[in-house]
């Protein structure tokens, strides 16, 4: 198993709607400032692993984090990032990080579900039309261990919750 390194927790972090939409046209559909603050707080000081499209949608490497891009393109280059060609290669590269984060997109999440230990999911309580989706979370493989419903509305007047899932061993 890829997570054979003791005391390491591989964490998927995402924001998805009730129908598991992550985004459309390579961008987020909603703006949740509090969730971006939470994302920064959780990931700062750790490696973040993402697909090329996710990186390109951000436009730059995120500061105070080790930015790892997974791409099939052997010639891909960008500033302040490291390139890998598989999730397993990326996780090996960051083997000394106590909590590497997988931050998207949809294909990277799908490839990571069997490798991760924790899912930190911001559930946006609405349905959206999109073209990128978060994988279904199986009740047979994951247990909801923490739920925080927020009364704060987004700028678009959306309700959301923070959900933490732990892999059932």
Q: What is the mean pLDDT of residues 35-45?
A: 96
- Phi, psi (degrees; rounded to nearest 5) at 31: -120, 120
Looking at every residue in the chain, the average pLDDT score rounds to 93
Q: What is the mean pLDDT of residues 113-139?
A: 96
- The pLDDT value recorded for residue 1 is 42
With a cut of 90, say whether residue 18 has pLDDT above it.
yes
- The pLDDT value recorded for residue 5 is 60
Q: What is the mean pLDDT of residues 65-86?
A: 95
Cα–Cα distance for residue pair 4/95, rounded to 1 Å? 9
Least confident of 19-33, 56-70, 79-93, 142-156: 142-156
With a cut of 70, say whether residue 2 has pLDDT above it.
no
pTM: 0.94
| Among 84, 39, 83, 85, residue whose Cα is nearest residue 63 | 39
DSSP for the chain, written as a single string:
-TT-STT---EEEEEEETT-EEEBTTB-S---HHHHHHHHHHHTTSEEEEEHHHHHHH-SPPTTSEEEEE-S-TT---TT-EEESSHHHHHHHTTT-SS-EEEE-HHHHHHHTTT-SEEEEEEESS----SEEPPP--TTTEEEEEEEEE-PPPTT---EEEEEEEE--
Percent of the chain surpassing pLDDT 70? 94
Residue 121 bridge partners (DSSP): 14, 163
**What is the number of alpha carbons within 13 Å of residue 109 lying toward its C-beta?**
24
Q: What is the mean pLDDT of residues 29-48?
A: 95
Q: What domains can you pick out in the chain, each with its CATH number?
A: 11-167 (3.40.430.10)
Q: What is the mean pLDDT of residues 152-167?
A: 87
- Phi, psi (degrees; rounded to nearest 5) at 48: -120, 130
Cα–Cα distance for residue pair 93/24, rounded to 1 Å? 30
Q: How confident is the model at residue 153 (pLDDT cuts 50, 70, 90)?
A: low
């Amino acid at each position: 198993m890829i997570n054979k390194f003791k005391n390491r927790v591989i964490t998927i972090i995402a924001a998805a709607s009730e129908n598991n939409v992550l985004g459309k046209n390579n961008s987020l559909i909603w703006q949740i400032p509090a969730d971006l603050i939470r994302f920064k707080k959780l990931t700062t000081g750790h490696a973040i692993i993402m697909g090329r499209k996710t990186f390109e949608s951000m436009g730059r490497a995120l500061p105070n984090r080790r930015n790892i891009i997974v791409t099939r393109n052997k010639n891909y280059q960008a500033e302040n990032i490291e390139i890998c060609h598989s999730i397993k290669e990326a996780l090996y590269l960051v083997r000394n990080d106590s909590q590497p984060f997988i931050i998207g997109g949809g294909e990277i999440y799908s490839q990571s579900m069997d490798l991760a230990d924790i899912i930190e999911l911001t559930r946006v309580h609405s349905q959206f039309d999109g073209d990128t989706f978060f994988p279904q979370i199986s009740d047979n493989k994951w247990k909801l261990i923490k739920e925080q419903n927020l009364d704060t509305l987004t700028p678009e007047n959306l309700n959301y919750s923070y959900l933490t899932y732990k892999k059932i061993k």
